[in-house]
Amino acid sequence: MSISSPQTTFTSETLEQQLLQEDALLRGHFRLSSGLHSDTYVQCARFLRRPDLAAPAAAELARQIQEAGLQPDVVVGPAMGGVVIGYELARQLGVPGIFTERDDSGQMTLRRGFTIEPGQKIVIAEDVVTTGKSTNEVARVLEGLGAKVLAVASLIDRTGGKAELTFPNFALLPVTAATYAPDDCPLCRAGIPVVKPGSRPEKAFS
């Protein structure tokens, strides 16, 4: 049985306005951790710090998942971005919520005593699907343990619906963000100062 919030109408426009109000969705000129430049930056942690905002968003994701006839046994939220939304989505669906994280070699894995049983059905929870690469990485880890990945559920799909996934993709807000190589960036040519937000160290790039 799911645990749901009082019935409200939650739309993509609702989420977008909340993200903007919390400075979790920014427009401008940004240098990403990959080294690419972009006109859009997302920092969902600023949104997810608000339980009163996170719970209705997760409730809407849970509603969409259940309406599609999917019932996971476990929700897995990759660290760090998927931990909070994964926990709240698991609460809404009434199932355990665990997370994967990178080991010392940089490989995504289950730690802290978390286990997956063969045959268990999984929903992967993300704050943002950026390219789908990390989501697919998590899926391979889980499938290697014998689990079946039913879907990924996220607040934002930054690919605008173009992520290359082999399972359904539930996202509350599709965002199409332009990215540019640093030496071919129209924002640079326009003289707009570049900002490096976020918490991850910059990767070396030329």
31 is in an annotated binding site: no
- Rounded Cα distance, 206 and 196, in Å: 15
132 is in an annotated binding site: yes
123 is in an annotated binding site: no
Return the structure tokens found at 49. 């710090």
102 is in an annotated binding site: yes
Give, to the nearest 10 degrees, the angle between helix 51-67 and helix 81-93.
Answer: 60
CA distances from 3 to 6, 52, 63 (A): 10, 15, 10
158 is in an annotated binding site: yes
- Rounded Cα distance, 191 and 147, in Å: 50
162 is in an annotated binding site: no
46 is in an annotated binding site: no
Residues 6+ apart with CB under 8 A from 164: 132, 136
133 is in an annotated binding site: yes
11 is in an annotated binding site: no
134 is in an annotated binding site: yes
Give the residue ranges of the annotated binding site: 102, 126-134, 158
Give the residue ranges of the annotated binding site for orotate: 130, 158
Give the residue ranges of the annotated binding site for 5-phospho-alpha-D-ribose 1-diphosphate: 102, 126-134
